[in-house]
Amino acid sequence: MKLYTTIIIILITILGAFAQIDQDTLKIKEVVISAMRSEKNKNEIPVKVDLISAKNIENLAVVNVDDIFNSISNVYVNRSWGPFSKNSSVTMRGLSSSARVLVLLDGMPLNMAAGGSINWHMIDADNVSQIEITKGPNSALYGNNAMGGVISIISKRPKSPITVHLNSYGGSYKTFGQHITITGNRVNDEKGLYWGIKGFARQGDGYYFESEASRDYSDTTTYIWEYNTGGYLGYQFNKDNKIEVSGDFYDDLRNEGIQVYEKDGSYYKFTTKTIQANYVGKFKGFEINAIGYRKQQDYFNQKERLNNFAEYKLMESSSTDIDEGVWIGVNRKIGEKHFFTFGSDIKHGETNYADIYFTSYDEVYYTGAFNFYALFLQDEYNLNKKIKIVGGLRFDKANFYDGSFSVNNPTSETGYENSMHSEYTPETWNAISYKFATNYSFSEKVRNYFSVATGFTPPKLDDLCRSGKISKGIKIANPELQPEKIFNIETGTFITLHKLEIEPSIYYSRGKDFHYLVGLGDTVDIGGEQRALLQKQNVSDVEILGAEINVKFQINQNLNLITNYSFNHSTIKDYKTSVGTELTGKYLAEVPPHLFYIGLYFNHKRLASSIAFRFIDEQWIDDENTLLVEKYSIVDFKISYQINKYFASYIDIQNLLDVEFVDRKGLSSPGRFILVGIKTDVKQISKKK
């Protein structure tokens, strides 16, 4: 408690000290779209937002797009196998799991309804124009998943008649990649067509988890290959109206480091197809943002192993998950003081999952679908030049239906005694989310915000419908699972001096009905091994007390310092079941209490370089708090040089000091990872009359 009091005193002192400062200020107009679902100046919104521009990304050692978030306070990226990870988990504000963060790509939600996960690999960092990271719950505007915050990724759009971008690289573990983007812009007099074709391919040999001395014949490297292709076609009717259609295709293969007999051994594969249409326009004083989208993610996992008795086991898991929806947001200024944002979101998500065994005849299938309907309304009220008040309300209704679960020809592999088929009763639930926030500008340099907001994350289709083996035992479906909810209160200050920006904030969150795996007090014999029966239940109320502070300092014209520190005390306040281990008072898994980042960025003529240090505190990796991953520190380095008008070369080094750390399964990280690359940008400059 002493620590929290100290933090609060420090923050209040900082706020008081800077409240009266009235010096020359760097007036930076940074535009944010996602935080309020309308275009806003970052300095006038009562919420904590971090912005990352394409230029910032250029300066960072980035191998995957989520590596960018390592530089952001209170965002923890769990990518322990580096580029060879099956996926990464990006968590915010002391809430583990990607499902508790809403991620948007050009307005399209990327969290899959089936499991809440995000396929970060399909996003090419070369094509990112800006990333907006809104901290804290924002379900009053976005509904699902926006508990810890919202990450909005905005892609680049062409400004030149023709642009060709190439990026080729090679590096550690024989990793090679090629990115290409060709774009065109034929917009003249604010009318015309623009388009882009993009793609990338990457492959790498990966690394062994085991040391050479302890490897056996089934150990192989975590090799990968992946490629993506996509494009967009847009038409601008006039200054205010445009429509765009875009599509993406992504495919990969990622080996798990095990190969017994089968080609590629045990591996994961995600094939993702997206198509979306966006309309942005103005009509009689109404600003309209509409998006329609469809995503299909085909997941495939081949698993082969020799069990403890040297018996060969082979199975495949696959699923087809489809998410589609239409989101419409409308903005309207009414009078001088009110700015309304309102609209409706409709979303559908479904999954068809199968486990097929090849060393027995077991088959397990499940299906499930969700429909979401939502209405929202927000008013930004500018009381005067200093005070802005924001109030928002959203109503979400969700239907879970078509839930079924089947087992055919069961043996001890799946643990069922007989073939069975069950259909789940449809369930409906509602969620009302609200937000109240104020922004008070003490001066042009100092402002303070205060916010009270709620958020929720729906149950995953996987938890509602799927029964089957997981690493901890046998998970039994719970079709009655309800959403997790969170209430958050926070305040923060923004101080902008001549060359210094300081942004401290503190928050307190109470989570209700969080999903935890509860032991049902019984076991099943699976192939001679006793496995506990478990079920996800709404049993846990959690408490999070946190703080973060960001500091940016321009040392001189060429040198910038960025540093931040985050603190989270995330614990289970009330564990509402007497079955299994009592978890009250336990820390939330995968939440490092302390995160620290400091980066030095240098830019001079043709040379750009950055060196960054980050500290990740120790963290519990199981709910019972028995397994602890040690704290570790990483140094990343990047240097790039513009050779001439068209070519630039660069060296990215992640984990420069080759620090070893392990993931929650005790598997080691790849250590130092170096990429050397060359980029080409060729543009046809428009001839303006």
Partner 1 sequence: MRIATLYISAMVFLFSCKEEIPEYNSPKLELIQDSGYLYADSSLYAGDTVLVKIKASSQSDYALTQIHIERITENDTITIDTGIYNHTITFVKKIVKSNSDFETWTFTASDRNRVKSESITINISKKEFSTYNDIIHIPSVLFGFQNNNEIGSFYSLSSQEIFDTENAYNFQDNIHLVAYYDYSGDEHVIASPGANISEGTFAGSYDIVNWTTLNTTRFLLSDISTDEFDNCSNDSLIYETSFTFEVGKRKAKNLSQGDVYAFVSDKGYFGLIKVKSLTGTNEGNIEIEIKMK
Residue 247 CB-density burial (10 A; 0-12 exposed, 13-18 middle, 19+ buried): middle
CB 233 within 8 A of CB 261: no
Q: Which is nearer to partner 1, 356 or 662 (CB)?
A: 356
**483-542: which residues touch partner 1 (CB under 8 A)?**
523, 525, 528, 530
Q: Which is nearer to partner 1, 191 or 573 (CB)?
A: 191
* Smallest separation (angstroms) from partner 1 to the CB of 179: 17
- Which of these ranges, 102-110, 308-316, 328-336, 341-349, lies near partner 1 under the rule CB under 8 A? 308-316
* Smallest separation (angstroms) from partner 1 to the CB of 525: 7
CA–CA distances in Å: residue 440 to residues 44, 87, 383, 443: 9, 40, 10, 9
Q: Does residue number 203 form part of the binding site for partner 1 (CB under 8 A)?
A: no
Site string for partner 1, 232-251 (x = CB under 8 A): -x-------------x-x--
Structure tokens belonging to residue 575: 């564990």
Q: Does residue number 360 form part of the binding site for partner 1 (CB under 8 A)?
A: yes
> Of 137, 87, 145, which is closest to residue 111 (Cα–Cα)?
145
> Of 437, 414, 320, which is closest to residue 367 (Cα–Cα)?
320
* Smallest separation (angstroms) from partner 1 to the CB of 662: 21
- Which of these ranges, 63-71, 307-315, 450-458, 470-478, lies near partner 1 under the rule CB under 8 A? 307-315
* Smallest separation (angstroms) from partner 1 to the CB of 127: 15
d(CA 521, CA 516): 15
Select from 312, 421, 423, 585 the one that contacts partner 1 (CB under 8 A).
Answer: 312
Q: Does residue number 308 form part of the binding site for partner 1 (CB under 8 A)?
A: yes
CB 539 within 8 A of CB 577: yes
Other CB atoms closer than 10 Å to residue 496's CB: what's the count?
Answer: 23
Q: Which is nearer to partner 1, 267 or 400 (CB)?
A: 267
Residue with tokens 């993610």, as numbered in its chain: 297
d(CA 535, CA 524): 14
The full DSSP string for 520-560 is EEEEEEETTEEEEEEEEEEEEEEEEEEEEEEEEEEEETTEE
Q: Does residue number 292 form part of the binding site for partner 1 (CB under 8 A)?
A: no
Q: Which helix (H) or strand (E) holds 141?
A: helix 139-142
Select from 273, 469, 552, 594 the one that contacts partner 1 (CB under 8 A).
Answer: 273
Q: Does residue number 420 form part of the binding site for partner 1 (CB under 8 A)?
A: no
- Which of these ranges, 46-54, 228-236, 454-462, 471-479, lies near partner 1 under the rule CB under 8 A? 228-236
* Binding-site size, partner 1 (CB under 8 A): 32
Q: Which is nearer to partner 1, 273 or 552 (CB)?
A: 273
d(CA 199, CA 213): 40
Select from 195, 209, 370, 405 the one that contacts partner 1 (CB under 8 A).
Answer: 195
Amino acid, single-letter form, for residue 218: S
Q: Does residue number 286 form part of the binding site for partner 1 (CB under 8 A)?
A: no
Select from 160, 178, 203, 229 the one that contacts partner 1 (CB under 8 A).
Answer: 229
Q: Which is nearer to partner 1, 296 or 642 (CB)?
A: 296
- Which of these ranges, 15-23, 125-133, 192-200, 384-392, lies near partner 1 under the rule CB under 8 A? 192-200
Select from 25, 160, 168, 359 the one that contacts partner 1 (CB under 8 A).
Answer: 359
Site string for partner 1, 248-267 (x = CB under 8 A): -x----------xxx-----
> Of 539, 542, 545, 537, which is closest to residue 572 (Cα–Cα)?
542
Q: Does residue number 624 form part of the binding site for partner 1 (CB under 8 A)?
A: no
Q: Which is nearer to partner 1, 277 or 497 (CB)?
A: 277
CB 637 within 8 A of CB 675: no
Q: Does residue number 184 form part of the binding site for partner 1 (CB under 8 A)?
A: yes
Q: Does residue number 231 form part of the binding site for partner 1 (CB under 8 A)?
A: yes
Q: Which is nearer to partner 1, 411 or 642 (CB)?
A: 411
Cα-trace Rg, the chain:
25
- Which of these ranges, 355-363, 373-381, 558-566, 657-665, lies near partner 1 under the rule CB under 8 A? 355-363
d(CA 288, CA 242): 11
Q: How many helices (H) and strands (E) does the chain have?
A: 4, 36
Q: Which is nearer to partner 1, 294 or 573 (CB)?
A: 294
Q: Does residue number 217 form part of the binding site for partner 1 (CB under 8 A)?
A: no
Q: Does residue number 365 form part of the binding site for partner 1 (CB under 8 A)?
A: no
Residue 283 CB-density burial (10 A; 0-12 exposed, 13-18 middle, 19+ buried): exposed
Structure tokens belonging to residue 653: 């080094």
Q: Does residue number 218 form part of the binding site for partner 1 (CB under 8 A)?
A: no
CB 34 within 8 A of CB 40: no
Q: Does residue number 166 form part of the binding site for partner 1 (CB under 8 A)?
A: no
Residue 390 CB-density burial (10 A; 0-12 exposed, 13-18 middle, 19+ buried): buried
Q: Which is nearer to partner 1, 426 or 666 (CB)?
A: 666
> Of 227, 35, 31, which is closest to residue 130 (Cα–Cα)?
31
Q: Does residue number 408 form part of the binding site for partner 1 (CB under 8 A)?
A: no
d(CA 157, CA 194): 8
Residue 55 CB-density burial (10 A; 0-12 exposed, 13-18 middle, 19+ buried): exposed
> Of 92, 10, 64, 48, which is closest to residue 595 (Cα–Cα)?
92
* Smallest separation (angstroms) from partner 1 to the CB of 121: 17
* Residues in contact with partner 1 by the rule CB under 8 A: 182, 184, 193, 195, 197, 229-231, 233, 247, 249, 260-262, 273, 308-309, 311-314, 356, 358-361, 411, 413, 523, 525, 528, 530
